[in-house]
Structure 1
Amino acid sequence: MNTKTSLAQLLARILRQPVRALTILIGSLGQVILSVYLPVLVGQAVDAVLVEGNTDRFVQLLVRMALVIAINTFIQFFLPLFINQLIFRMMNELRQEVYEKIHRLPLAYLDRQSIGDIVARLASDSEQLTNGLTMIFSQFLIGVLTIFLTIFSMARLDRTMMLLVVVLTPISLFVARFIAKKSYGYYQQQTQSRGQQTKLLEESIRQLPLIQAFNAQEQLIDQFEEVNQTYATYSQAAIFASSTSNPMTRFINALIYALLAGLGAMRIMAGNFTVGELTTFLNYASQYTKPFNDISSVLSELQSALVCAERLFEILEQEPVEEGDVLPLIEEEVRGEIRFEEVDFSYNPLQPLIENLTVHVPAGARVAIVGPTGAGKSTVINLLMRFYEVNKGQILLDNVPISRYSRKDVRRQIGMVLQETWMKTGTIHENIAYGYPEATREMVIEAAKAANADFFIRQLPQGYDTELRDGGASLSQGQRQLLSIARVFVHLPNILILDEATSSIDTRTEILVQQAFERLMQGRTSFIIAHRLSTIQSADMILVMVAGQIVEQGNHEQLMQAKGFYYQLQTSQGVTE
């Protein structure tokens, strides 16, 4: 991404609304023409009084000036409405595209980004870009048109003085350009440090109980103070650099104006100019130099806006997860047989994780995956869910590679309950029916009963209509886990994945949930990741993973008799049989 690319993309988006863009262009041109015509009337009125002494003509010119001012005021009133409609519609579409693109990006990209920085791009950066575009249309466009029209008008009056204005005035533009280059770097550092600040805020507020538990408040306060000071330093440098642009250009333009007034007075005394013509020319000179002041201010704002645009377009430039030629997946025909054939995968190419993984899971089998932390247990599930794609080999569902199906169809066959719960802002009914908004109240209640969540839901003030906020903070961790389990029961899957699904539930509730899972797993292929013996000992197959490899395979009795790695894991928990 660079400045030219960002400008080209912004222009292309503006041209998606050709009627509004053309209306703004015509309105801006009309406003400038009337503004340039008004000094002509003023000069003629001065000459009518001082040179001609014609009162009637003076009155006619006053009426004409009033009409020009009225029309110009009308244009200046309605033009911002069209500008705002164009910009806010364009930004609305851009934010929507960025948000949709985030949901189509591979998790590998999102894993490398901080949540706070992405939020800053969609919130702060898009707002800064909106402000910058508003200034471009309201000041930059009109300023450029004013410059060209006043040059033409000044040339009609006196080409010598016009050339003097044209030669001297760009000095202020060169000064503004020099300052803009300096401020651009500062604005880049400002937006980056703002993203870091948002990231730290998001992380610290989300984990506030943990921070307090470890008495890390002072550490976080010191860290935020450092980040905040960095942001303030870059912001101050950027604002100071941009704020010097306008005074410098105004000073240069004031000197030019004084020089023109003196030269014009000399030409009047020589009989080459009238007072009215000098009045008109000085008005033109003022009109000509004023856009340079405005443009100098806009250039500084434009640098900040372009940096923000680059950060938004950078997301849009990422390669999304694409679906190739896919086969239809008929849900009723899915048996649930899973094969991993010589699968290799690593999150980092320099750090291999899973190598040559080969395993066959018959349809309807109950498979437990155990092993130490970092062994690759959850990675196997991520590959099955197609959150990540294998580097080598293939995964088959009923003897067909899952890469031949769409991700949506594959995931629709799988019910997944994770250790970490997530509740969206909404009612309990909406949270249980998440992903299946067409689910009726009866279906939600049945799912809650199956997950043994109905008993505590009915104790809440509004029952299933109770609003959950802040990720369900008003509920206990165990209650949120029960709601996560209930989601699976709304639409019964052909394949079930339980990743430490009962880790946050008390022993009594776990027994009830296990009974529900027993009913759910009947006839369904199930993958269970757990450390508790009670959860995995009844599995048809236990896969023991170490460093991405399956080192042992069998049922509980077979592995305990083998007295290998699985035996060591269980005896370390005090289990001897």
Structure 2
Amino acid sequence: MSEQRRGPGGFGGGPGGPGGRHGGPAIGMPVQKAKDFKGTLRRLAGYLKPHRYALLTVLAAAILSTIFSTVSPKILGKATTKLFEGLMLKVKGVPGAEVDFGYIGNILLILIVLYMVSSIFSYIQQYIMAGIAQRTVSDLRNEVNGKLSRLPLKFFDSRTNGEILSRVVNDVDNISSTLQQSLTQLITSLVTVVGVIVMMLTISPILTLIVVLTLPLSLMVTKGVASRSQKHFMGQQKSLGELNGHVEEMYTGHRIVKAFGREAKSVDTFNEINERLYQSGWKAQFISGIIMPLMSFVSNIGYVLVSVVGGILVTKRSIEIGDIQAFIQYTRQFSMPITQLANIANIIQSTIASAERVFELLDEQEEAAETAHPQVIQRARGEVRFQDVRFGYKEDELLIDRMNIDVASGQTIAIVGPTGAGKTTLINLLMRFYELNDGRITIDGTDITELQRGRLRSLFGMVLQDTWLFNGTIRDNIAYGREGATEEDVIRAAQAAHADHFIRTLPEGYDTVLNEEASNISQGQKQLLTIARAILADPSILILDEATSSVDTRTEVFIQRAMNELMKGRTSFVIAHRLSTIRDADMILVMNKGTVIEKGTHEELLAQGGFYADLYNSQFMGKTTQKDVG
């Protein structure tokens, strides 16, 4: 159960997990790889193309910043050499010998200027790159958001909310962080490596060769440790995902756990998963943590070799003592960007995988294009006709086959039948949430495919069994039914839905803020608010999907009266499970297996003694039947 509910954005798999994205992944951390790295990289680079001149400026700033910072150690070495020479002359007792502090002072001033200029160019680089990254990701987010609004309902029905949110939020954020941080770091590291090697070669090719020879040893150490730590990181991620799922389940079903006395079992399961997480976690962190001491050991070997060989070269007067100091600084500068590049390689792998997931979303098949010359229904009369309609959620499995229905203006049409008969599907087709396989649906003689989807859906008002309210005030939730609704309009709609009384008993009245799940009011009260919202919309056609199922019997009577008043002069489709609510319907459609098997008024269907009569009698006369209404 937890695996179904936990999407890729859960604690176990999101980019912000341990060793995660923002702090740079730990070495040895398993990295998600893209299926088509080169193709996705090219496509992502296409989003940066409009900013190519700004990127060239960033590259130029990075090069200049690195140049000024890499030449500094060599210049500082000259100051060291001058200081050493002056002290040695004093030691030897040379008359008039002294340290040339004026020369050293000038060197220090030059260094201050160089470091300041380097910092300024580094600031320019970061400032411009921040603008590029945020503008690029903003464009990508807008594209994703626009895409989501154009995707058909079947896309959302076939995927978990966690998976969609992970692509829209986590994956886009992963791309954003890489463009903002890692791209500039990549440029700087590459330029630094090249710059440092050039400076080291100007000092001593022999010493440079010694430093370069330590690289394979460093790579062997890194690869060896990473391969051993990766399996523990994978175990850590798996256990973390299991723990997240368990905690989510236990707290979501807290009352059920209490009611059945399963607290001890829940705690035992938590402790078991937590222990596995502990074992994997400390092993992963310990083994990956060994890398830095080992890298330092390899670097220290390089320092020793540089110092010994450098000392020999100084004694032979091949190089100056200040050059040895500068070279040791360059050695330290050389190892840091190499480590950064190793980390960035992992980050880029993860980022390209995230980009690929986002591009998969952008490449999803959209809803059928709107007609080039849309029809407009100013005020629908409500004449609805289904003509030879064929539909299936899968191409080879039809749910509705050759359905024909004629609904006159102002009629109330009740739809009943067992679970899976196609009642809700019929409504989805009417509002064009799904496209037909064959046939046509018309409103006032106009094919719904000749209407813009927005205008088509504006003709309908819906009250569903599953309520939907957003985080906001009760007033805003009701006013969602009609743009520009006044305070008086909202209150009248609430009164018509018999919601005004309970709203006024709340501490903040119409200003009461509903939380994300609207759990601070009862299920029945939520239903009343959705009914008030539909009343405020004043639609031409009503769709009521068991609209009174969550309210008490007395409130149901009042709402039924309000609904009857609202339905006067309007075509209404009522999906009902409790047959007592549809006795007065103008026509009752009895559906089974996607087909209308009976049609008529309540009295006519009872007189037929068929499927509907069996359903009705099973509810009101206590008869046992296999034909339930779902």
Please confirm whether the aligned pair reaches a TM-score higher than 0.5, indicating the same fold.
yes
Match of 2:59 in 1: 25
Matches within 5 A, 1:233-382: 243=289, 246-349=292-395, 351-382=397-428
> C-alpha displacement at 1:520, in angstroms?
1.9
> C-alpha displacement at 1:249, in angstroms?
4.3
Q: Secondary structure at the match of 1:355?
A: strand
Question: Contact 1:143 / 1:295 at 8 angstroms: preserved in 2?
Answer: yes
Match of 1:140 in 2: 186
Q: Secondary structure at the match of 1:542?
A: strand
> C-alpha displacement at 1:417, in angstroms?
0.4
> d(CA) in 2 for partners of 1:204 and 1:313?
35
Unaligned runs of 5+ in 2: 1-33, 87-98, 623-630
- Give per-residue Cα distances to partners, 1:458-511, cap 9 Å, x unaligned: 333332222222432222222211110111111211111100001112222222
Unaligned runs of 5+ in 1: none
> C-alpha displacement at 1:172, in angstroms?
3.5
Question: Contact 2:478 / 2:530 at 8 angstroms: preserved in 1?
Answer: yes
Matches within 5 A, 1:208-223: none
Match of 1:39 in 2: 73
- Give per-residue Cα distances to partners, 1:255-302, cap 9 Å, x unaligned: 334333333333333332222233333332332222112222333444
1:388 aligns with 2:434: yes
> C-alpha displacement at 1:62, in angstroms?
1.9
Q: Secondary structure at the match of 1:328?
A: coil
> d(CA) in 2 for partners of 1:307 and 1:233?
29
> C-alpha displacement at 1:174, in angstroms?
6.7
Rate the CA distance shift 1:249–1:156 in 2: closer, same or farther, 3 A.
same
Match of 1:512 in 2: 558
Match of 2:507 in 1: 461
- Give per-residue Cα distances to partners, 1:108-157, cap 9 Å, x unaligned: 22223222344445555555555554541453321111011122223333
Matches within 5 A, 1:437-452: 437-452=483-498
> C-alpha displacement at 1:49, in angstroms?
2.9
Q: Secondary structure at the match of 1:498?
A: strand
Choose the corresponding residue for 1:153, options 195, 199, 210: 199
Letter in 1 for 2:504: R
Rate the CA distance shift 1:206–1:481 in 2: closer, same or farther, 3 A.
farther
- Give per-residue Cα distances to partners, 1:17-72, cap 9 Å, x unaligned: 55654454333222211111101211222232334764432222122112223333
> C-alpha displacement at 1:407, in angstroms?
1.9
Q: Secondary structure at the match of 1:517?
A: helix
> d(CA) in 1 for partners of 2:352 and 2:550?
47
> C-alpha displacement at 1:547, in angstroms?
1.5
1:476 aligns with 2:528: no
Rate the CA distance shift 1:300–1:461 in 2: closer, same or farther, 3 A.
same
Question: Contact 2:371 / 2:449 at 8 angstroms: preserved in 1?
Answer: no
Letter in 2 for 1:37: V
1:545 aligns with 2:545: no
Choose the corresponding residue for 2:612, options 560, 566, 571: 566
Rate the CA distance shift 1:127–1:441 in 2: closer, same or farther, 3 A.
same
Question: Contact 2:481 / 2:536 at 8 angstroms: preserved in 1?
Answer: no
Letter in 2 for 1:372: P
> C-alpha displacement at 1:430, in angstroms?
0.3
> d(CA) in 2 for partners of 1:226 and 1:525?
59
Q: Secondary structure at the match of 1:539?
A: coil
Rate the CA distance shift 1:574–1:100 in 2: closer, same or farther, 3 A.
same
> C-alpha displacement at 1:382, in angstroms?
1.5
1:523 aligns with 2:557: no
Question: Contact 1:115 / 1:199 at 8 angstroms: preserved in 2?
Answer: no
- Give per-residue Cα distances to partners, 1:217-251, cap 9 Å, x unaligned: 67776777777778778877876676565555444
Q: Secondary structure at the match of 2:111?
A: helix
Q: Secondary structure at the match of 1:456?
A: helix
- Give per-residue Cα distances to partners, 1:319-352, cap 9 Å, x unaligned: 3335332543434242222222332333345654
> d(CA) in 2 for partners of 1:192 and 1:154?
46
> C-alpha displacement at 1:444, in angstroms?
1.1
Rate the CA distance shift 1:315–1:230 in 2: closer, same or farther, 3 A.
farther
Question: Contact 1:383 / 1:389 at 8 angstroms: preserved in 2?
Answer: yes
Deviates more, 1:435-444 or 1:156-165: 156-165
Question: Contact 1:106 / 1:388 at 8 angstroms: preserved in 2?
Answer: yes
Rate the CA distance shift 1:314–1:106 in 2: closer, same or farther, 3 A.
same
Match of 2:543 in 1: 497
> C-alpha displacement at 1:566, in angstroms?
0.8
* TM-score normalised by structure 2 residue count: 0.80
Question: Contact 1:326 / 1:406 at 8 angstroms: preserved in 2?
Answer: no
> C-alpha displacement at 1:75, in angstroms?
4.5
> d(CA) in 2 for partners of 1:16 and 1:191?
38
Letter in 1 for 2:71: Y
Q: Secondary structure at the match of 1:374?
A: coil
Match of 2:82 in 1: 48
Letter in 2 for 1:572: S
- Give per-residue Cα distances to partners, 1:178-212, cap 9 Å, x unaligned: 87789889888977887777677666655655665
- Give per-residue Cα distances to partners, 1:363-384, cap 9 Å, x unaligned: 3222111111111111111121
> d(CA) in 2 for partners of 1:380 and 1:229?
51
Q: Secondary structure at the match of 2:313?
A: helix
Question: Contact 2:390 / 2:437 at 8 angstroms: preserved in 1?
Answer: yes
Deviates more, 1:23-32 or 1:373-382: 23-32
Matches within 5 A, 1:62-211: 62-76=108-122, 80-95=126-141, 97-127=143-173, 129-137=175-183, 139-166=185-212, 168-169=214-215, 172-173=218-219, 176=222
- Give per-residue Cα distances to partners, 1:71-100, cap 9 Å, x unaligned: 334455665455545445544554554445
Rate the CA distance shift 1:204–1:134 in 2: closer, same or farther, 3 A.
farther
Rate the CA distance shift 1:422–1:209 in 2: closer, same or farther, 3 A.
farther
Rate the CA distance shift 1:379–1:469 in 2: closer, same or farther, 3 A.
same
Match of 1:61 in 2: 107
The sequence identity of aligned pairs, in percent, is 37
> C-alpha displacement at 1:567, in angstroms?
0.9
Question: Contact 2:481 / 2:537 at 8 angstroms: preserved in 1?
Answer: no
Rate the CA distance shift 1:328–1:229 in 2: closer, same or farther, 3 A.
farther
Give the total of aligned pairs.
577
* TM-score normalised by structure 1 residue count: 0.86
Deviates more, 1:388-397 or 1:480-489: 388-397
Match of 2:31 in 1: none
Deviates more, 1:261-270 or 1:370-379: 261-270
> d(CA) in 2 for partners of 1:9 and 1:142?
23
Question: Contact 1:116 / 1:196 at 8 angstroms: preserved in 2?
Answer: no
Deviates more, 1:70-79 or 1:535-544: 70-79
> d(CA) in 1 for partners of 2:327 and 2:548?
83
Q: Secondary structure at the match of 1:572?
A: helix
Rate the CA distance shift 1:124–1:513 in 2: closer, same or farther, 3 A.
same
> d(CA) in 2 for partners of 1:229 and 1:517?
57
> C-alpha displacement at 1:565, in angstroms?
0.8
> C-alpha displacement at 1:521, in angstroms?
1.6
Rate the CA distance shift 1:558–1:319 in 2: closer, same or farther, 3 A.
same
Deviates more, 1:279-288 or 1:204-213: 204-213
